[in-house]
Amino acid sequence: MSFMGRSATLAVLALAVLAVVGCGGTVIDDAKTEGAIEQNLEDSLGKKVSSVDCPSGVEVDAGASFECVVTLTGGKEETVSLKIINDDADVEVTGLQPK
């Protein structure tokens, strides 16, 4: 599957990742985001994921973007780009590319 096809497939997968309210405001729950990315990559693309690493402390700001690093079984790494789509901390995958 081409990158464009993969990207289009992933873009329709909105991830409900929830937010955590802390002292500094509302932030994306990185652990839930990592789990959702892993599940979606395995289900939609058949990729075997060994780990996902997303930054912690990403503030919920509709329209903002951030990236996570996915390590596939065998050690290959890919970068997943995500966009926060609303103040409820829903995100969508906007890109997937080799690192």
- In the chain, the percentage of residues whose pLDDT exceeds 90 is 46
Strands (E) in the chain, as ranges, are 14-16, 19-22, 25-28, 49-53, 65-72, 77-84, 90-98
Q: Kind of pairing, strands 19-22 and 65-72? A: unpaired
Which of the four pLDDT bands, split at 50, 70 and 90, describes residue 80?
Answer: very high
Among 3-7, 24-28, 35-39, 79-83, which is the least confidently predicted range? 3-7
What is the average pLDDT across 33-61?
91
For residue 11, give the 3-state DSSP assignment.
helix
pTM of the prediction? 0.78
Q: What is the pLDDT of residue 1?
A: 36
- Six-digit token string for 7: 């990207």
Which of the four pLDDT bands, split at 50, 70 and 90, describes residue 26?
Answer: confident
Per the prediction, the chain carries an average pLDDT of 81
